[in-house]
Amino acid sequence: MGRRTHSPALQVIFSSHTQLHVSVVVSKKIAKRAVKRNRIRRRIYDIVRNYSREREIQGVFIFLVKQPILDMEYGEIRNQVRTHIDEIVRKHVSNTK
């Protein structure tokens, strides 16, 4: 079991690891059509990939998507994902010292 952070649109579970591993879970309850679920997945994967180029990020991140994400623009999703990653990394680094 890892560390968790929550927001209205996302829940993120983190576990430490030497490499970066990302998984995005979008339930059929969130979006019935696979096209919408896959679009959400691709956006989050893209955000994490781009952010990992800016910062050195390690660990296992599991993003559990909630209903409000359907009404969000790319920029809003990006801000939430980055906020979650920063919060988790900050807590993890302070606990490992």
Query: Per residue in 36-85, pLDDT tens?
Result: 999 999 999 999 999 999 988 888 999 999 999 999 999 999 999 999 99
**pLDDT, tens digit (0-9, with 9 covering 90-100), for 22-41:** 999 999 999 999 999 999 99
Q: With respect to CATH, is domain 3-96 assigned 3.30.230.10?
A: yes
∠ CA 95-22-66, rounded to 5°: 95
Residue ranges covered by each domain of the chain: 3-96
- Sheet hosting strand 10-15, strand order edge to edge: 3-6, 10-15, 59-65, 20-25
Sign of the dihedral defined by the CA atoms of residues 9, 45, 25, 3, in that order: negative
Q: Which residues of 29-60 are buried (b: 16+ CB within 10 A; e: fewer)?
A: ebbeeeeebeebbebbeebbeeeeeeeebebe
CA distance 73 to 78: 9
pLDDT band at 90 (very low <50, low <70, confident <90, very high): confident
Global pTM exceeds 0.85? yes
